[in-house]
Amino acid sequence: MDPRATVEAMLRHDLRGRTAYGAPQLDVPVALNTNENSYPVPAVVVDAITEAVRLAAAGLNRYPDREFSDLREALAAYLSRCGTPVVPDAVWAGNGSNEVLLHLLQAFGGPGRRALGFTPAYSMHPIITTTTGTTWIDGMRGVEGQGAFDLDVASAVGQVVVHQPDVVFLCSPNNPTGTALGLDVVDAVHEAAPDALVVVDEAYAEFARPGTPSALTLLQGRPRLVVTRTMSKAFALAGGRVGYLAADPAVTDALRLVRMPYHLSTQTQAVALAALANADLMLETVDAIKEQRDRLVSGLAALGLEPVPSDANFVLFGHLPDAGETWQGLLDRGVLIRDVGIPHYLRVTAGTPDETSRFLEAVADLVPTRTGAAP
């Protein structure tokens, strides 16, 4: 018997026929497809991380701090810098924000429960939802007379009222569109779903334009509201795998019921603490990345394409006759970006100035009619 057929027959029925998540990992000169920070970790921080791991290595015969107490304090202090006090007991962390989302769904989702998200949005939300046996509800974006990817109060609340979910996902800034939400949307959804956990995914919050609000300011008095963050993007620690959330301490206490024992290794905690101790230095590249993001927007518009205004470290752009053909044409020129499955649209990460130039030059080669020169 075919081993694959045997395994398929044993697999959970709701997972059969599905394909695993995975962005292409190709060796190319310009990789702008996974919203990584193109700048390496500063040498000073590399030394600090190396020393922190060296000091921790002698104690690897013991399990790590199960409560990751020092890390929670450091993350709370970092979040509090934004102007909204956060206490350590309100913080939870995991191996990337995906594990944090998994913990939330393990605790508040599951068989017989439903999670609602507004797509296009982060593709892992429905995947993680399904793996926990939670039913995924594919809500929709788009507001008549506004941007094609906007989400307003009336639309969001209407869908919440219809579906009555147990978990609601909101992305701000949203991936893959880069658009941010007003706090009125978050608050209205929270009020319209009185029995649901409302999760605001703020993975790209550090890249938001001035005046873009964070849902952290809404946490006080809302025990069903959760804000998730990551150190993968602004902190340039995608390989470190550290994600976290802020919520009422009652939520973080509930997550202890589902996390694996000692889920954050000693090394992971040491790396994250060293990075947070050098937060100002680690975040120095944020403004440079935002500058390249805005350059992408203006450059793509000059080429007659339709970039979506972004509060993230990437730009979604459309008006492509054949997105797949453009994606392949860019790859043939050594530039890898992301096809997110939206017809006529592609997504590009804001990288270094040289990467931006090479991308815009490659796009200019592929665009049939140019309305201006790439900057």
- Strand segments, DSSP code E, in the chain are 30-31, 91-94, 114-119, 135-140, 167-171, 197-201, 225-230, 243-247, 306-307, 314-318, 335-336, 346-349
109 shares its domain with 253: yes
Domains in the chain, number: 2
Q: Are 187 and 218 in contact (CB under 8 A)?
A: yes
275 vs 238: CA distance, rounded Å: 12
Q: Among residues 234, 256, 281, which one ends one of the domains?
A: 281
Q: Among residues 281, 307, 341, which one ends one of the domains?
A: 281
Give the CATH number for residue 25. Answer: 3.90.1150.10
153 shares its domain with 235: yes
User: What is the tens place of the pLDDT at every residue in 247-280?
Assistant: 999 999 999 999 999 999 999 999 999 999 999 9
179, part of any domain: yes
105 vs 221: CA distance, rounded Å: 22
Identity at 252, one-letter amino acid code: T
222 vs 231: CA distance, rounded Å: 25
User: What DSSP element (H or E) covers 351?
Assistant: none
Contacts of 266 (CB under 8 A, 6+ apart): 56, 59, 60, 64, 65
CB atoms within 10 A of CB 254: 18
Residue 31's pLDDT is what?
97
Q: Are 283 and 127 in contact (CB under 8 A)?
A: no
Residue 371's pLDDT is what?
40
168, part of any domain: yes
> 3-class SS at 335?
strand
Helices (H), 123-215: 124-131, 153-163, 183-192
106 shares its domain with 195: yes
22 shares its domain with 127: no
248 shares its domain with 328: no
135 shares its domain with 265: yes
Q: Are 339 and 374 in contact (CB under 8 A)?
A: no
95 shares its domain with 110: yes
142 shares its domain with 263: yes
Burial class (CB in 10 A: 0-12, 13-18, 19+), 81: exposed
Residue 374's pLDDT is what?
40
Q: Among residues 256, 281, 306, which one ends one of the domains?
A: 281
240 shares its domain with 354: no
Contacts of 237 (CB under 8 A, 6+ apart): 41, 231, 271, 272, 275, 282
275 shares its domain with 303: no
36, part of any domain: no
Tokens of residue 366, six digits: 């592929």
Domain hosting residue 128, numbered range: 43-281
371, part of any domain: no
143, part of any domain: yes
In the block, tokens 């309305």 appear at 371
Residue ranges of the chain with per-residue pLDDT less than 50: 369-375
Residue 144's pLDDT is what?
54
User: What is the tens place of the pLDDT at every residue in 5-15?
Assistant: 888 889 888 88
373, part of any domain: no
355 shares its domain with 211: no
353 shares its domain with 267: no
